[in-house]
Amino acid sequence: MLLTEIKRRFFVFRNGLIADTLRQQGSPYRYIFGLNLPQLSEIAKTIPHSADMAMALIDNDNTRESQLIALWCFQILK
């Protein structure tokens, strides 16, 4: 699964109200989809849990949800 496919899933769950609130509060991310933890957990269950995927998500440091979901990949690898 490619990073672009994961971002498409982020977009499906996008919550504009949360995203806008996070931006107004000074969140440093360029892209904020406003997903909550249950939504991120649901997406994390469907992506490959490999070190390469986790590192690709971590390296995508301009997207809030990529950073958060990468933690699930690393946790599952343990």
Please give the radius of gyration of the chain, using alpha carbons only, rounded to the nearest integer: 12
pTM score: 0.82
Per-residue pLDDT tens for 44-70? Answer: 888 888 888 889 999 999 999 999 998
pLDDT-derived band at 72, boundaries 50, 70, 90: confident
Contact criterion met (CB below 8 Å) for 42 and 76: no
Structure tokens at 34: 């406003």
Q: How many CA atoms lie within 13 A of 16 on its CB side?
A: 0
Query: What is the residue-averaged pLDDT of the chain?
Result: 89
